[in-house]
Each structure stands twice: as structure tokens, then as C-alpha cells.
């Protein structure tokens, strides 16, 4: 996974000039080794369509954009990853499972990898992290 926390701070034209060529170069190198590539840009809403031009197999999105909006904007050919707010893991295992189920339901049957919309927070209780890991094992998505 190419993980770029700051590229989402760029306006689209600046992202296209200063970040996208380098994301694309790294992703093409990864893919040339036969490895699927994931691109994550924190704050991706303003550059999502540009990210889709990177040749990544999966676009990882943060919690600030809904999965349905992301899917509508990039189409069905690129899988999505995310977009659960990492702060939910500071709540309870039940709420964490509910958030995971909601993300799975929102993603629908198209390609989706359940994940957080950014990294796990340092104070996350182990029980909540475990609830997040276990949720897709018992989920039923319509």
C-alpha cells in the first residue's frame, strides 16, 4: 500500500503535477512485480478521480467520503478500501461492529476491503480492535 497522508492537502491541479506522477511510478513498479497495489491519500475527496488514474488496483478512502460517493465517482473497475473512522475504535466493541457492518453494507457487492479510513489510534482498546477484525467474519451483506 502506498500511504500518503499529506497529498490530500493539495488542490487537484497541484496533486496532478506534484503527487500523481510519483504515486503512479511507485504503483507501476509494485504491479510490475505481480503485486496488487493500493493507494491511500488522506483527505482524498478532492483528488479521487485523479487517484484513479494512478493504475492502483485498490483506492483506499478515508472516513470523510462515503463509499457510495467514492464508487459513483470512480466506477466499478477499481476496488475500494476503507472507510471506517478510526475514532470509532475508541468506543465499544458493539459500536465498532456496527460501524464495520455499516461499511460493508454501504460498499455493496463490488470489490471492497474493509479497513479503517486512516491508521489505528494508539489508545485503541484491544477489545475494540478485535471487534473490528471479527466483524467481517460474521457479516451478511445484501
What pLDDT is stored for residue 108 in this prediction? 77
pLDDT, residue 141, reads 59
Structural domains of the chain, count? 1
Q: What is the CATH number of the domain that holds 102?
A: 3.20.20.210
Q: Are strands 38-41 and 58-61 parallel, antiparallel or unpaired?
A: parallel
What is d(CA 109, CA 86) in angstroms, rounded to the nearest whole number?
Answer: 23
Question: pLDDT at position 138, please?
Answer: 84
Q: Which long-range contacts (CB under 8 A, 24 or more apart) does 128-131 make?
A: 128/89, 128/90, 128/91, 128/92, 128/93, 128/96, 129/89, 130/93, 131/93, 131/94, 131/96, 131/97, 131/100
Range of the domain at 8: 2-138
Rounded Cα distance, 50 and 12, in Å: 8
pLDDT in tens, the chain (142 residues): 999 999 999 999 999 999 999 999 999 999 999 999 999 999 999 999 999 999 999 999 999 999 999 999 999 999 999 999 999 999 999 999 999 999 988 887 778 999 999 999 999 999 999 999 999 888 665 5
Tell me the torsion sign for CA atoms 13, 17, 21, 23: negative
Beginning with the edge strand found earlier in the chain, give each strand of the sheet holding 58-61 in spatial order. Answer: 2-4, 38-41, 58-61, 79-84, 112-116
Amino acid at each position: 500500500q502506498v500511504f500518503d497522508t499529506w497529498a490530500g492537502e493539495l488542490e487537484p491541479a497541484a496533486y496532478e503535477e506534484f503527487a500523481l506522477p510519483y504515486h503512479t511510478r511507485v504503483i507501476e513498479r509494485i504491479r510490475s512485480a505481480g503485486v496488487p497495489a493500493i493507494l491511500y491519500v488522506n483527505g482524498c475527496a478532492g483528488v479521487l478521480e485523479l487517484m484513479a488514474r494512478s493504475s492502483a488496483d485498490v483506492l483506499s478512502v478515508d472516513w470523510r467520503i462515503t463509499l457510495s460517493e467514492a464508487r459513483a465517482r470512480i466506477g466499478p473497475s477499481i476496488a475500494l478500501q476503507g472507510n471506517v473512522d478510526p475514532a470509532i475504535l475508541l468506543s465499544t466493541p458493539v459500536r465498532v461492529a456496527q460501524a464495520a457492518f455499516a461499511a460493508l453494507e454501504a460498499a455493496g457487492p463490488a470489490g471492497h476491503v474493509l479497513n479503517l479510513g486512516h491508521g489505528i489510534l494508539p489508545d485503541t482498546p484491544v477489545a475494540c480492535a478485535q471487534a473490528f477484525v471479527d466483524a467481517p467474519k460474521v457479516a451478511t451483506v445484501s
